[in-house]
Amino acid sequence: MYKIDFDNPSSLYFVGIGGISMSALAELLADAGFPVSGSDRSPSAVTKMLEARGITVFYGQKAENITDSVDCVIFTAAIRPDNPEYKAAHERQLPCLTRGQLIGQIMQNYKMPIAVSGTHGKTTTTSMISEILLGADLDPTLSIGGILKDIGGNMRIGHSDYFVTEACEYTNTFLDFFPKIALILNIGEDHLDFFRDLEDIRHSFRRFALLLPADGCLIINGNIERLEEITKDLPCRVVTFGNESCDYYATDITYDQWGNPGFILHSKAGGARPVSLSVPGAHNVENALAAFAAADVLSVPSALADAALKAYRGTDRRFEYKGSVGGVTVIDDYAHHPAEITATLKAAENYPHRKLWCVFQPHTYTRTKAYLKEFARSLSLADQVVLADIYPARETDTLGVHSQDLQREILALGHPCHYFPSFDEIENFLLENCINGDMLITMGAGDVVKIGENLLGI
């Protein structure tokens, strides 16, 4: 494997540089003195930001973009062998690294690399830990899978021993990491275009846990089934959170008028104390428990951790308030898995509204086909469901699945559901049917956010 030499920076080319993770890595390495360039399909706010920082971005992925000046090419799992830049790099026999391999090499430059894994909740929990480290003036380097308002982006370059990143299980990316502290928030079925089944996924998380050194620490959700299969015989310290048999758990959970939880935090190390959050939903109680556990492992004073999580007001596209139009509250959320949808819609129950509308854009054909009935059940928590076409992402439609298949499943449950093939039709339908006091959530990992933004005129 090609090894990045941080003492002698080489020229790096990122295929898909406008992605939320790739852009962060490009920015980090450019700051470290590496000549960085890359490509993306079209201009975006992210690519314009990179260009403003002196990074060359090509639009359109073409073989001629890979020149003799490039020393190493970085790819994500979304890049296929028929990609012209992928082919050109291999034809030129240029060194190539996956995004995961690059992150792993970066982690080795820090004494305290922290990796947050799990099927759901990675971005929020990474953001919570980031806020705690910032609040404690620990000057961390942060790589987040979403936009954190307090740092004005998804990347912060610090000058300390602390490095915090998300650790995604897809294509076993996280197995190339070198964490000192690792979190496993949950383990569920997802990415079945890569994994065989849940047991295959569990096996990968076990391998991830085994990456920790003897002086490291695994922070893991104690509600994970057959937990001991993940944690047995690990050389490192293991800290659990979740239920009353764990090291960290919550009791006396209440919600304010906006659905934000307050609770009593119990920890075996520090007794019990009241804490409160400024992000809604019971799922964020679990995310906060993991973050509080990390704070204690890092010896951050509890008062600083409490204040940081009270001040944390979310990450873009995580139950993000977008605005109000005609008395209709517009929220946007990244949820694209049935468990995430359930968590978001249950969080909305505690938020003031008359009728709850959910505009859902399924993400990938594989995921839609695998969880058709589960999607139907979770979406039925909304009063009214509106479906957009499937967002293909990295896939092509070879499975014969369509949003109308999901509509039929929801209707079979006796629940109202509407499908429209274009965003314009969806927007017109919402304008005619949403009324003062309703809440509208645009939901999905694609570009469904545009619907709410168009209605708001932003």
Say which of 85, 122, 125, 366 is annotated catalytic.
Answer: 122
- Give which of 351, 371, 355, 373 is closest to 363, Cα–Cα: 371
Say which of 47, 76, 98, 123 is annotated catalytic.
Answer: 123
Contact 359, 440 (CB under 8 A): yes
Dihedral sign computed on CA atoms, order 441, 446, 448, 454: positive
Report the distance separating Cα 375 and Cα 156, nearest Å: 35
Two structure tokens written together for 119 = 């099927």
In sequence order, the 6+-apart residues with CB closer than 8 A to the CB of 310 are 275, 276, 277, 278
**DSSP label of 364:** -
Say which of 27, 85, 131, 166 is annotated catalytic.
Answer: 166
Active site residue 251: no
Active site residue 450: no
Q: Give bridge partners of residue 273 from the DSSP assignment.
A: 265
Amino acid at 388: A
Contact 121, 287 (CB under 8 A): yes
Contact 344, 304 (CB under 8 A): no
Helix (H) or strand (E) holding 366: helix 365-370
Two structure tokens written together for 167 = 């650790």
Contact 74, 15 (CB under 8 A): yes
Pairing of strands 96-98, 141-148: unpaired
CB count within 10 Å of CB 295 equals 23
Active site residue 122: yes
CB count within 10 Å of CB 261 equals 23
Report the distance separating Cα 255 and Cα 317, nearest Å: 21
Catalytic machinery residues = 122-123, 166
